[in-house]
């Protein structure tokens, strides 16, 4: 299928996966913004914090920022900067009953041409505390990780990606 049609039919959604005081992982409501209808624009504006009335805001641990991608493309500068801002706001690690988990951004993609039954063919992941930028793909029911590079911040505003 051609890229323009895939793009025109796509939407981006995003959500938080967070850890609760009762030692459970939860997923926030999915977020999507009206900018989806602007030609050439796809984005989601995830609220910077989870509003879960069951827990005090400071007791929530932020683990993953999830979002979908309309195509198999790497993370954008906006993605990278937003997860860093969220790490500064919420912290870089969460203590769980299974151990410490590092905050990261995960962007899922589908390579399927079947819009009625899309598949999850993989995701890109960026973990700010390590700088790791990876691509995960599902092949024969096995997830495999391909290191893409390391995000290196040269100052508070500037970064580069050292490719592997």
What average pLDDT does range 74-82 have in this prediction? 89
Exposed e or buried b per residue across 68-100, where buried means at least 16 C-beta atoms within 10 angstroms of its C-beta = bbbeeebbeeebbebbbebbeebebebeeeeee
What average pLDDT does range 136-141 have in this prediction? 89
What average pLDDT does range 14-20 have in this prediction? 95
Location of structure tokens 């906006």: 78
What average pLDDT does range 131-141 have in this prediction? 93
**Predicted confidence band at 36 (pLDDT cuts at 50, 70, 90)?**
very low
- State residue 87's pLDDT score: 97
**Predicted confidence band at 24 (pLDDT cuts at 50, 70, 90)?**
very high
Q: Work out the mean pLDDT of the chain and round it to a whole number.
A: 86
Range scoring the smallest mean pLDDT among 37-41, 72-76, 117-121: 37-41
Indicate the pTM of the whole model: 0.85
pLDDT in tens, 38-52: 555 555 678 899 999
d(CA 38, CA 92): 34
Q: How many CB atoms lie within 10 A of CB 45?
A: 13
Q: Is the pLDDT of residue 91 over 90?
A: yes
- State residue 164's pLDDT score: 84
């Amino acid at each position: 299928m051609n890229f323009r049609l895939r793009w025109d039919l796509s939407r981006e959604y995003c959500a938080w996966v967070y850890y609760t005081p009762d030692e459970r992982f939860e997923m926030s409501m999915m977020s999507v913004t009206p900018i989806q209808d602007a030609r050439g624009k796809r984005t989601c504006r995830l609220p910077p914090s989870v509003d879960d009335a069951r827990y005090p805001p400071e007791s929530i641990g932020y683990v993953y920022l999830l979002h979908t991608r309309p195509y198999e493309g790497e993370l954008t500068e906006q993605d990278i900067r937003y997860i860093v801002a969220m790490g500064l706001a919420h912290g870089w690690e969460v203590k769980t009953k299974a151990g410490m988990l590092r905050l990261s951004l995960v962007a899922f993609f589908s390579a399927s041409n079947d819009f009625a039954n899309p598949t999850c063919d993989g995701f890109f992941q960026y973990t700010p505390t390590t700088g790791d930028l990876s691509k995960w793909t599902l092949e024969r029911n096995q997830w495999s990780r391909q290191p893409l590079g390391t995000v290196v911040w040269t100052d508070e505003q500037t970064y580069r990606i050292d490719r592997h």
